Amino acid sequence: MVPISSPELANPNDPSAEAVGGEQSQTPEPKPQNCPKAVVLLSGGLDSATAAAQAIADGYQPIALSLDYGQRHNRELQAAQVIARHLGIQQHYTIAVNLAQWGGSSLTDPRQTLPQDGVQDNQIPSTYVPGRNTVFIALALALAEAQGAVAIYLGINAVDYSGYPDCRPPYLEAFQALAQVSSKVGLEGHAPQLVAPLVLDSKVDIVRRALALGVPIAETWSCYGGGEEPCGTCDSCRIRDRALWDAGQPHLVSNQGRPLGQMVPLGELDHPSVS
């Protein structure tokens, strides 16, 4: 079974785990070189940044991996660099795998309109990128085996996954089984463990966890657009802004967002949180 929570912060709803007075906690200190290594998939978004901070809090020496997959903009990759520096991550790889060559997603095809009206029931949204997480995790497994990492931390979230097939616990369990039969270390009985500490968190829970771990939330990028500031109107911005407001962090809500009184409640605007 793929771990779905981390021991250091198992209950993000516990008030003792929240930052006092709305202030962020101190960023986890980088681990000594003799600590076990973990690859962290770092997109530059809130979820992946929180998962990376959780890996450090759990005692791992992180190796960050970011992917330029042909997305509309590189704003999130810029954010990933800032976050890696903030968390004291010494090794940070950014590689290009151009999934935009064959299209199939509004995140890689600028001719498609980015969704702003929520996700329809039983319909995978246009922001789904075919094979993205499968490619990402495969590359993370390769990096982990080459570097001797024993774990891979993912920011995947299943609570608001809105039909994405690659954001669910069964998908992660299947990939863990693949890791055990597709690598030398797997055949030797110690394949890297996939860890998805946020997989069952709500978006509000993720914000609270990020605050407790000292994640620089203002430096993360979740917007589908690539402007100087978040658009505040795409589905991703609306979910993030609502969660920040509900977590008592109105100063982190996007400047360009819709008035919060008009925002769709999170329970009615499901969307995957994979960044």
Q: Are 243 and 204 in contact (CB under 8 A)?
A: yes
Cα–Cα distance measured from residue 193 to residue 3, given in angstroms and rounded to the nearest whole number: 8
124 HSE (CA, 13 A, CB side) = 12
Residue 263: strand, helix, or coil = coil
- The pLDDT assigned to 28 comes to 63
Element spanning 91, H or E: strand 91-96
Q: How does pLDDT run across 79-129, given as a tens digit for each residue?
A: 999 999 999 999 999 999 988 888 888 677 778 777 666 656 667 777 777
Q: What is the pTM of this model?
A: 0.83
In this predicted model, what pLDDT tens digit does every residue of 31-83 receive, in sequence order? 666 899 999 999 999 999 999 999 999 999 999 999 998 888 889 999 999 99
Neighbours of 229 (CB within 10 A): 11
User: Quick one: tokens of 190?
Assistant: 């110690």
Tell me the pLDDT of the chain averaged across its residues: 82
pLDDT band of residue 195 (cuts 50, 70, 90) is very high
Question: What are the Cα distances from residue 167, in Å, to 57, 97, 227?
Answer: 23, 20, 27
pLDDT tens digits, one per residue of 123-182: 777 777 777 889 999 999 999 999 999 999 999 987 765 667 788 888 899 999 999 999
Q: 239 vs 116, which has greater pLDDT?
A: 239
**Alpha helices per DSSP H over the chain:** 46-57, 75-86, 132-147, 169-181, 184-187, 203-213, 235-246
Looking at residue 118, its pLDDT comes to 62
